[in-house]
């Protein structure tokens, strides 16, 4: 499956089927992340059941600390 991730084409392996899978793949599952799919914000409670589809436009926004 190929999605648009933060504006860039990203091919996903077959085991990435949901938003939760995607966050785990990028090791973001334990961080505060805003997830948008096709311009709709996905609630955190939906991550494990929200399927990804070929061609989806996904935006992942997470915060990085520093000083």
Please give the pLDDT value at position 63.
Answer: 79
Phi-psi sector, 66: left (phi>0), alpha (psi -120 to 50), beta: left
pTM of the model: 0.89
Average pLDDT, the chain: 94
pLDDT confidence of residue 62: 84
Contacts of 53 (CB under 8 A, 6+ apart): 1
């Amino acid at each position: 499956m190929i999605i648009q991730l933060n504006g860039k084409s990203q091919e996903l392996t077959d085991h990435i089927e949901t938003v939760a899978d995607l966050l785990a793949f990028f090791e973001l599952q334990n961080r505060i992340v805003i997830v948008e799919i096709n311009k709709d914000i996905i609630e955190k409670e939906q991550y494990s059941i929200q399927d990804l589809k070929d061609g989806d436009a996904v935006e992942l926004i997470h915060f990085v600390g520093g000083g």
